[in-house]
Structure 1
Amino acid sequence: MLRKIRRILAAICFLLITLLFVDFTGILHLWFGWLAKIQFLPAVLALNAGVILFLVLLTLVGSRIYCSVICPLGVFQDIVARIGKGKKKMPYTYSKPKSWLRYVMLILLVVAFIAGIHAFVALLDPYGIYGRMANNVFQPVWIWGNNLLATIAERIDSYAFYRTDVWLKSLPTFIIAIAMAVLVIVLAWRNGRTYCNTICPVGTILGFLSRFSLFRISIDKEKCNKCTLCARNCKASCIDTDNYQVDHSRCVACMNCIGKCKKDAIHYRFAYSKKAENQPAAQPKGENRREFLASSLLLLTSSLQAQVAEKAEKIKMDGGLADIIEKKAPKRQTPITPPGSQSARNMQQHCTACQLCVSACPNEVLRPSQSLDTFMQPTMSYERGYCRPECTKCSEVCPAGAILKIDKAEKSSIQIGHAVWIKDYCIPLTDKQECGNCARHCPVNAISMIPSEPGNPDSLKIPAVNTERCIGCGACENLCPARPLSAIYVEGHEHHRVI
């Protein structure tokens, strides 16, 4: 019964969290966005004391339930392990704990956080790893399926579905997501929860706490005949039947071992009962060893970036009469961070690069950064859309406090950057044609059109930017007809301010 309950809860959490990343409508976040906020590392970075206390108490009471139910990467490993070892009735064996590796990875995480190497922190966060996998691998498949249904619906005069673009937001992030997916899948396919119990820093922290859990798996040595049925069904490889011991720091409370024992010698029970006190306190031992795959795959795949960085520019045709050249991103001196992030420093310190805000952005403004100091964290660019003043999706879904929640009124007064006019690209000067597109679409009236020739009111008008009023939404940059670079672009601000 405990195993069934755990599986049902894990399946529900995994499905809903996955849908949060693949859903491009933003509807599901209104109901299930809290699932992202109860992830361990995002809660720590957001200083969400309530969630942290809940997860600590949950672990101290019931062991690593978080890892087997709430963590999407953990459940994903269970699915892969189930497929990989599906043909074998008893596929696992006990292995010695690699405590030195676990604590080295945890120390590296803490050192990286203190040193400001937040890209390394993002690489190790299990929720962030799964988020990037979902955003870069699962969401495109989901959208392609939606577009197929939209095509079918169009043919029967139905508008139940609508098309949306599938586009590569960041090649380096895509490579990292694929590399981590391969690493996790290979480890889970071969030996179940290897990643959780050797690399994952969250698993190490909760594993330390679970040593003191009130309820945990225990073996009755008087009934146990050392048949190893429980050990051979343990994905964490943490049951040492030779010494009647369970390594509680690695046990994820999956309950797979319960019910397998024909002697009723293994239970999930109160750990401080008299029965438990009589058990020997020997350290886990075993003769079998597991292979451990090196995580250097990430470094090897990053070398592919240079080979595919230069992509052929996609040319569209306007009715066969003219080429429509795609916009190029300008070279900004200061990257633009979303409204609610307060500053580039706040974003850098709190973001786990889970890509949830990138998935939820309906305007296709957010994409992962390629800069080394903010690698994979969201940055803004306006080639595909602009940051609409009425949209606050990114602030609503961020679980780590990198983007604080704001309302529509607050967003309209937050200055994240300012527009800069480039004389050499402006159509009234280059093509001698009237334009004014930037001024017409500015939502805060920060752009006015003035005569290009001083003293001649009949000359062609050019834009003048009021930088004190501009909020940096990027409407002018996105809607500027100049190609491939806009004649007006947004320069970001290190620190946001209210105007």
Structure 2
Amino acid sequence: MLKTIRVILAVICLLAVTMLFLDVTGTAVRYVGWLAKWQFMPALLAMNVVVVAVLVVVSLIFGRVYCSVLCPLGVMQDVISWIHGKVAKRRKFTYSPAVTWLRITMLALFVLLIALGLARIAAFIEPYSEYGRIVSSLVKPLYVDANNALAAAESPDSYTFWHVDYYVTWAMVAVAAITFIVVAVLAWMNGRTYCNTVCPVGTILGYLSQFSWLKPVIDTSKCNHCGSCGRHCKASCIDSKNQKIDYTRCVACMDCIGYCKQGALTYAHRSKSSVKEADESVDKSRRQFLTVSTILAGTAVLKAEEKTVDGGLAIIIDKEKPVRQTRITPPGSRSIANFTKHCTSCQLCVSNCPNGVLRPSTELDTFMQPEVSFERGYCRPECTTCSDMCPAGAILPIDRAERSATQVGHAVWVRNNCLPVTEGVSCGNCARHCPVGAITMISLDADNPDSPKVPSVNTERCIGCGACENLCPSRPFSAIYVEGHEVHRNV
């Protein structure tokens, strides 16, 4: 019964989180967007004290149910392992000792990267972000293609489906593919190996789960050493021969309880009278190391917190991204420093940006982190989608009024690209489409009122939305582009 409940909840959570990345209508975010904010590491980076506290308390009561229910990468591994079991007809796991040195090393590396403000690198082993990249880079392109095929096939007066543009780089596909292959191979071969050797969340929650109130308990008076529990333990943490369970690796999947025909395994409070005590005590120095590591991660986060072309005036070719001196971060991120230190590159904002403005960076120093680019659209002043859904605190929640008053950058005019200058024709596209009226057209030659009109930017009023850059007919580079600000301002 416990296993059935766990499986149902896990499948629901996996499908819900997956749809957060796949959905092109915004419906999933509206109803289940909160699930992203309940992921452990993003919540820790966002200093979401309530969520972190709840997950810690849940782990201290029920064990690592987060890993077996809420974590999408963990549930994905269970699915892969289950498929292997169906293909192989009979799946057997075997007990293996914990690779403690590797777990501690990976956690220490993760904490060090967070402390150095390198969350974008630490994100390579953060489970939620890994799953997000897998879905957004490998699955969503196929999902969008299917959606667009249905949109093309339906009648013109039907709006059930509509064409959607989606951008993904080969670099992102490569990273996601490598991640998926590594995790999938480990899950196919031996279940939760990745969770119990590499994953920092698994190590932290595994440490806490040693002290959980409820956990699988072996009744030595009923156990006949048949080994069924160990053969079905995807975490390889049950030593049935010696009647021991390594609770730092147990993910509370309840599989062992369901397969024990003797009724020797129960999910209960572990008391001395009913359980054979372990021969080896937990190494105190290891406990202290893990505790300090967890505290250090929180301290590091606190430190990080401180610190459609019209006019027909040009040949229609693809726009190219201008070289910006300062990159642009989404409204709500407050500053480049805050965004860089908190973003885990999960790609949730990229997958759900309704304007096609966010894309994963291919630059080495910001690799995989979302960047704002206006080749395919512009950041509409009324849109707060990315700030509403970011689970890691890289983009903080803002309302529409605050969004429309946030200056993420300012427009810069490039004389040599401007059509009135190069072609001697009238344009004014940038001024017509500026949503805040920050651009006016003035005579190129102040002494000659008949000279071509060119844009003049009021940088105090401009919010850096990119409408001018996106809608400029000049190709391949716009005659006006947005230069980012290190720290966002209010106008």
TM-score (norm 1): 0.90
Per the alignment, residue 81 of structure 2 pairs with: 81
Question: In the aligned structure 1, how far is the partner of 2:25 from the partner of 2:261?
Answer: 50
Cα drift, residue 115 of structure 1: 1.7
The answer to whether the 8 Å contact 1:343/1:494 transfers is yes
The answer to whether the 8 Å contact 1:418/1:470 transfers is yes
SS in 1 for 2:216: strand
Cα drift, residue 184 of structure 1: 0.6
The answer to whether the 8 Å contact 2:444/2:452 transfers is yes
Of stretches 57-66 and 170-179 in structure 1, the one that deviates more from structure 2 is: 170-179
Question: In the aligned structure 1, how far is the partner of 2:211 from the partner of 2:16?
Answer: 31
Question: In the aligned structure 2, how far is the partner of 1:282 from the partner of 1:74?
Answer: 30
Per the alignment, residue 20 of structure 1 pairs with: 20
Paired amino acid for 2:77: Q
Per the alignment, residue 422 of structure 1 pairs with: 414
Where does 1:364-443 land on structure 2 (aligned, <5 Å)? 364-443=356-435
Cα drift, residue 469 of structure 1: 0.8
1:280 matched to 2:283: no
Per the alignment, residue 244 of structure 1 pairs with: 243
Cα shift readout 1:464-495 (whole Å, capped 9, x = no counterpart): 11111111000000000000000000000000
Aligned length: 461
1:60 matched to 2:60: yes
Cα drift, residue 322 of structure 1: 8.8
Where does 1:126-141 land on structure 2 (aligned, <5 Å)? 126-141=127-142
Cα shift readout 1:445-474 (whole Å, capped 9, x = no counterpart): 111100111211121100011111111000
Where does 1:203-352 land on structure 2 (aligned, <5 Å)? 203-272=202-271, 274-276=273-275, 279-283=276-280, 324-352=316-344
Cα drift, residue 273 of structure 1: 6.1
Any gaps of 5 or more consecutive residues in structure 2? 282-307
Paired amino acid for 1:70: L
Cα drift, residue 154 of structure 1: 2.4
Question: In the aligned structure 2, how far is the partner of 1:205 from the partner of 1:364?
Answer: 36
Cα drift, residue 280 of structure 1: 2.6
Paired amino acid for 2:407: Q
Of stretches 416-425 and 141-150 in structure 1, the one that deviates more from structure 2 is: 141-150
The answer to whether the 8 Å contact 1:118/1:374 transfers is no
Per the alignment, residue 31 of structure 1 pairs with: 31
Cα drift, residue 323 of structure 1: 5.1
Question: In the aligned structure 2, how far is the partner of 1:370 from the partner of 1:90?
Answer: 41
Cα drift, residue 498 of structure 1: 0.5
Per the alignment, residue 304 of structure 1 pairs with: none
SS in 1 for 2:5: helix
Question: In the aligned structure 2, how far is the partner of 1:322 from the partner of 1:417?
Answer: 27
Which residue of 440, 450, 453 corresponds with 2:442? 450
Where does 1:18-167 land on structure 2 (aligned, <5 Å)? 18-86=18-86, 87-154=88-155, 157-167=157-167
Cα drift, residue 88 of structure 1: 3.6
Cα shift readout 1:291-340 (whole Å, capped 9, x = no counterpart): xxxxxxxxxxxxxxxxxxxxxxxxx9x9xx99521000001111100000
Question: In the aligned structure 2, how far is the partner of 1:243 from the partner of 1:27?
Answer: 51
SS in 2 for 1:195: coil
The answer to whether the 8 Å contact 1:350/1:401 transfers is yes
The answer to whether the 8 Å contact 1:245/1:282 transfers is no
Any gaps of 5 or more consecutive residues in structure 1? 285-315
TM-score (norm 2): 0.91
Cα shift readout 1:394-450 (whole Å, capped 9, x = no counterpart): 000101111011111111111100101100010001111100000000011111100
SS in 2 for 1:462: strand
Indicate the RMSD between aligned Cα atoms, in angstroms. 1.7
Per the alignment, residue 479 of structure 1 pairs with: 471
Cα shift readout 1:22-64 (whole Å, capped 9, x = no counterpart): 0122122111111000000000001011000100010000000
Paired amino acid for 1:204: T
SS in 2 for 1:13: helix
The answer to whether the 8 Å contact 2:229/2:257 transfers is yes
Per the alignment, residue 299 of structure 1 pairs with: none
Runs of 4+ in 1 over 6 A off after TM superposition: none
Which residue of 448, 460, 475 corresponds with 1:468? 460
SS in 2 for 1:496: strand
The answer to whether the 8 Å contact 1:90/1:229 transfers is no
Question: In the aligned structure 2, how far is the partner of 1:136 from the partner of 1:424?
Answer: 37
Per the alignment, residue 288 of structure 1 pairs with: none
Cα drift, residue 151 of structure 1: 2.2
Per the alignment, residue 284 of structure 2 pairs with: none
The answer to whether the 8 Å contact 2:167/2:359 transfers is no
The answer to whether the 8 Å contact 1:361/1:393 transfers is yes
Of stretches 146-155 and 111-120 in structure 1, the one that deviates more from structure 2 is: 146-155
SS in 2 for 1:415: strand
The answer to whether the 8 Å contact 1:118/1:373 transfers is no
Paired amino acid for 1:132: R
Cα drift, residue 283 of structure 1: 4.6
Cα shift readout 1:155-174 (whole Å, capped 9, x = no counterpart): 7x422111112432x33222
Cα drift, residue 370 of structure 1: 2.3
The answer to whether the 8 Å contact 1:78/1:188 transfers is yes
Question: In the aligned structure 2, how far is the partner of 1:166 from the partner of 1:352?
Answer: 21
Cα shift readout 1:67-103 (whole Å, capped 9, x = no counterpart): 0000000000000111123224342111111011001
Question: In the aligned structure 1, how far is the partner of 2:356 from the partner of 2:266?
Answer: 51
Question: In the aligned structure 2, how far is the partner of 1:77 from the partner of 1:395?
Answer: 30
Question: In the aligned structure 1, how far is the partner of 2:379 from the partner of 2:216?
Answer: 51
Question: In the aligned structure 2, how far is the partner of 1:444 from the partner of 1:187?
Answer: 53
Cα drift, residue 282 of structure 1: 2.5
Question: In the aligned structure 1, how far is the partner of 2:158 from the partner of 2:68?
Answer: 42
Q: What's the % identity of the aligned pairs?
A: 56
The answer to whether the 8 Å contact 1:26/1:360 transfers is yes
SS in 1 for 2:208: helix
